[in-house]
């Protein structure tokens, strides 16, 4: 359970390696929500979809599923919601994702301002592959792999941040790309920063691109 609250989304101008699309602004999330402790695994995907599209399928069922497009993920979520009957599972918004990733921190990473491989599978320690979820240290709220292992789809279309404060932002109403967050086994450390924003076309699939589930409260 991720509590409601406010935080500074984006990065300060002093942050090393910051990008121009990380304009810092205050965001309030008015409702608590649930976020999966790890990315969705290959085993979880297979139990719902009956297949395993992952590039690293030989890594084991506890590795994150990847090579799934945003539309593939929506199909997975639809089937999951039909099975559970609740209709509550979804992708997190970009703001929900960063708020949960930071877990109350304002540093470049959720553990500090310098890369620490004890928290993150990234290009320097991953041996060029995904790893079982939950194998690195969690953030303060108990979430694993928010940085590294696989990029994670968010619900939002990609676009510029709002100019001022925002409450429960959901991104632009339309766009070309969907947001992805967190960096991956393939990437340099700077892409694993809490504020870093990436994007893919909603039909794109990649061996470093997965997701985790969010869920509203009943």
Note the pLDDT tens digit of each residue in 80-101: 999 998 889 999 999 999 999 9
Whether the CB-CB separation of 186 and 149 falls below 8 Å is answered with no
Kindly provide the b/e burial profile for residues 165-193, where b requires at least 16 CB atoms within 10 angstroms of the residue's own CB.
ebeebebeeeeebbbbbbbbbbbebbbbb
Mean pLDDT confidence for 155-177: 96
**Neighbouring residues of 77: CB distance < 8 A, sequence distance ≥ 6:** 89, 90, 91, 213
Whether the CB-CB separation of 94 and 156 falls below 8 Å is answered with yes
Both structure tokens of 21: 């699309």
Whether the CB-CB separation of 63 and 39 falls below 8 Å is answered with no
Mean pLDDT confidence for 15-32: 98
Per-residue pLDDT of 34-83, as tens digits, reads 999 999 999 999 999 999 999 999 999 999 999 999 999 999 999 999 99
- Strand runs (DSSP E) across 158-210, as ranges? 166-167, 178-181, 197-200, 209-210
| pTM higher than the cut 0.95 | yes
The pLDDT of residue 165 is: 96
Per-residue pLDDT of 122-136, as tens digits, reads 999 999 999 999 999
Whether the CB-CB separation of 42 and 72 falls below 8 Å is answered with no
Helix (H) or strand (E) holding 42: helix 42-49
How high does pLDDT run on average in the chain?
97
Give the Cα separation of 62 and 76 in Å (integer). 17
The pLDDT of residue 87 is: 81
Give the Cα separation of 14 and 177 in Å (integer). 28
Backbone angles phi, psi at 2, to 5 degrees: -100, 120
The alpha carbon of 73 is separated from its chain's Cα centroid by a whole number of angstroms, namely 13
């Amino acid at each position: 359970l991720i509590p409601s609250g406010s935080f500074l989304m984006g990065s300060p101008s002093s942050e090393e390696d910051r990008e121009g699309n990380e304009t810092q602004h205050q965001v309030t999330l008015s409702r608590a929500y649930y976020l999966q402790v790890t990315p969705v695994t290959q085993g979880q995907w297979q139990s719902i979809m009956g297949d395993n599209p992952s590039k690293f399928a030989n890594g084991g069922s506890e590795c994150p599923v990847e090579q799934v497009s945003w539309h593939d993920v929506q199909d997975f979520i639809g089937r999951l919601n039909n099975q559970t009957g609740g209709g509550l599972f979804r992708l997190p918004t970009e703001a929900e994702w960063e708020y949960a990733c930071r877990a109350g921190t304002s540093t470049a990473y959720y553990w500090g301002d310098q890369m620490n491989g004890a928290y993150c599978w990234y290009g320097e320690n991953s041996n060029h592959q995904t790893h079982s979820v939950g194998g690195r240290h969690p953030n303060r709220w108990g979430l694993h792999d928010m940085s590294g292992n696989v990029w994670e789809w968010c619900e939002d279309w990609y676009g510029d941040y709002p100019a001022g404060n925002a409450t429960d932002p959901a991104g632009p109403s339309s766009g070309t790309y969907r947001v992805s967050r967190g960096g991956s086994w393939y990437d340099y450390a700077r892409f694993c920063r809490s504020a870093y924003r990436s994007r893919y076309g909603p039909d794109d699939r990649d061996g470093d691109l997965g997701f985790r589930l969010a869920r509203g409260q009943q």
